[in-house]
A and B are shown apart, each in its own frame.
Chain A
Amino acid sequence: MTYFNMIVPVLLAAVFFITITSGRHKHYHLSFALGGVVLSAIFILLDFSKIVSDKIMVYYQLGWKPPLGITFSVDLLNYVVCLLLIFVAVSALAISRTEIRDDKREFYALFMLFLLGLFGAAMTGDIFNLFVFFEIFSIASYALVSYTGRKKAVLSSIKYLIMGSFSTSLILLGIVFVYGSLGTLNMADIASKMALSSTTATILGFGLLISGFMFKAAIAPFHAWKPSVIRDTPLSLGLMFTASGTIIGLYAIFRLVVTVGNLNLSGMLIALSFVTMVLGAVLALQTTNLKKLLAYSAISQTGYVLLAFGLLSYAGFVYHMINLVLIDIILFIVAYVVIKHFGTSDLDKMGGLGVGNPVLFGSALVAVSALAGLPLFNGFSSKLLIYQAGIQVFPIATLIAMLVSVLTLAYSSKMLNMIFFSNRKDSGVVNIDYDLKIIMVTIAVFCVVLGIFQGYFTGLMEIIAGSGLDRELYIKTVLGLI
């Protein structure tokens, strides 16, 4: 008996109840949304003992076995991605509680559809189903970008829609090539047929699929949408875009390249990660808008995750992905509180919060230290894995990663300085809601714990990444050969 297959119906039910509740009952919408997320979290946690004992959980939709039916398959890697999605969703809902004032019904209905698409994409074992879930969360996100109704938001929503649906069409084209050459859509079935009957068309299909996922993860040639979208959306959505959109894109790339395709794309991934890291860090240095700075910083960190992938340091890949999400949650909560206090996202007009706000300053300091990769914080542990892998495989990669780390320190300390010190004396005490405070402090503690017990967590990440690497077990379990 598995429970994870109940997540998508539960989230759909939440969407349904939010939609039929009339706009007058304002506090119900958030309750339904939170209820859906909490139920999903319970379902995920109920499966914990099973995932530990079985390594892979499989659910056949309507009982049809692959390759005929649609399969949901969750191994340790998906499991961790689902847990991260719940963290992000709870934090985004906590931010949205005070941020979203009107049109709550539309916002939360679309928000839960967004989350449904993310969860489905994280759990499915069928590439066409993956495409459908990508489209579900993409369409919800296009509508959510224009949610504020400002001129700039609507225009950037249209641009994001055209670019985004072009990229998801590329995913469809990739599926056409894979299906045409292998005759199946199930991931495990593709993986088993890959060694024998893959042709040039299959590789082309995989290339198209990966480029589509790279758009969602905002990796270098496809990163241009992210800063303008983050600038124009509420911060709760910005958190969903930067944290969960990125990890889903990265997860899909990992699943397709490593587990399904067993392809060697190191050269291409390393080259793209260099461009992403450097570009993100340099652009983050020169911007003075806090929201855009966070977007560029997330792009740069995505480059690190991709570099770990290219250097075949899969433990570093998972470790840095987790760190990216944790750091983003803290930074976005800090940004929300600060932007609400000053009424602007322009860094030049901020300053002087360092005196009377120990909790805010402490959390921001932890996040920034982790971002820059200072020792004793989680960012250091994962970057160390990347550096070590780089020295063994490709030393120039380590050099560039360290250089970007210095740039990261520069822009993050610039951000810290401009928010908390700058030239102003004292900007008073910021009023932080208790829920945001609890989340911020908890995640900051996580960051420190992940950094201090580095050896233990490195072993854990190797186990998690190893479950994605074990192709034989994946194929046999999903196809039901055991």
Chain B
Amino acid sequence: MITYVFSLIFVIIGVYAIAIKENLIKKVIGLSIFTTGIHLLLISLGYRFGGIAPILLENMGLSYFSTTAVDPLPQALVLTSIVIELSITALALALIIKNHKMIGTLEAS
């Protein structure tokens, strides 16, 4: 449950940074924090305290497996989403560098 609270805090910090901060780099950092909060929420959906890896072995009962194995799907989703977020951050930073060269400021206005 503590991860839900933390993800909420992350999301709030991210939205605050995107909405309030004038510096473009800080906005991008806020975007990153916001997405991280969502990732944390997603990964904690599939988490199970004391769970096992989701590999069905031969001598393992199906009921035991279904009650103890963690959900592997959120991990795959988060991995995909991390890649997307990486490319967005890289593109944003490249554009900000270009903007900084042209105008000489990092402010949004």
Touch test A–B (CB under 8 Å) = yes
Residues of A within 8 A of B (CB): 128, 132, 135, 139, 142-143, 146, 149, 151, 154-155, 157-159, 161-162, 165-166, 169, 172-173, 175-176, 179-180, 185
Given A146-B95, A157-B95, A158-B24, the answer on whether A165 and B88 have CB atoms closer than 8 Å is yes
A140, closest chain B residue (CB): B91
When A and B form their complex, which 9 residue pairs have the shortest distance between CB atoms, in order from nearest?
Answer: A135-B84, A176-B42, A154-B99, A180-B45, A165-B88, A158-B95, A151-B102, A173-B38, A172-B38
Of B35, B95, B103, chain A has the most CB atoms within 10 Å of the CB of: B95
Of B45, B80, B81, chain A has the most CB atoms within 10 Å of the CB of: B81
Bound: A151/B18 CA distance, A: 22
Q: Would you call A162 and B18 a contact (CB within 8 A)?
A: yes
B57 within 8 A of A: no
A206 to chain B, nearest CB (A): 16
Chain B interface extent, by class: 20 to 34
B43, closest chain A residue (CB): A176
Among B26-34, B48-56, B62-70, the stretch that binds chain A is B26-34
B92 within 8 A of A: yes
Q: Would you call B95 and A154 a contact (CB within 8 A)?
A: yes
A165, closest chain B residue (CB): B88
B84, closest chain A residue (CB): A135
* Cβ contacts under 8 Å, A185 to chain B: 73
* Cβ contacts under 8 Å, B20 to chain A: none
Interchain residue pairs with CB less than 8 A apart (11) = A128-B80, A132-B84, A139-B91, A149-B98, A158-B24, A162-B18, A169-B34, A172-B81, A175-B77, A176-B45, A179-B45
A19 to chain B, nearest CB (A): 16
Q: Would you call A158 and B41 a contact (CB within 8 A)?
A: no
Known contacts A158-B92, A165-B92, A166-B31, then 13 further A-B pairs from the complex at CB < 8 Å, ordered by chain A residue: A128-B80, A135-B88, A142-B88, A151-B103, A155-B99, A161-B92, A162-B27, A172-B38, A172-B42, A173-B41, A179-B45, A180-B45, A185-B73
* Cβ contacts under 8 Å, A165 to chain B: 31, 88, 92
Q: Would you call B35 and A154 a contact (CB within 8 A)?
A: no
Q: Would you call A146 and B98 a contact (CB within 8 A)?
A: yes
Bound: A149/B94 CA distance, A: 12
B60 within 8 A of A: no
* Cβ contacts under 8 Å, B34 to chain A: 166, 169
* Cβ contacts under 8 Å, A132 to chain B: 80, 84
Q: Would you call A139 and B88 a contact (CB within 8 A)?
A: yes
A117 to chain B, nearest CB (A): 12
* Cβ contacts under 8 Å, B99 to chain A: 151, 154-155, 158
Interface residues as binary, B12-31 with A (CB distance below 8 Å gives 1, 0 otherwise): 00000010000010011001
| CB-contact partner of B35 in A149, A151, A169, A175, under 8 A | A169
A179, closest chain B residue (CB): B45
* Cβ contacts under 8 Å, B88 to chain A: 135, 139, 142, 161, 165
Q: Would you call A143 and B91 a contact (CB within 8 A)?
A: yes
| CB-contact partner of B91 in A142, A155, A172, under 8 A | A142
* Cβ contacts under 8 Å, B95 to chain A: 142, 146, 154, 157-158, 161
Interface residues as binary, B89-101 with A (CB distance below 8 Å gives 1, 0 otherwise): 0011001101100
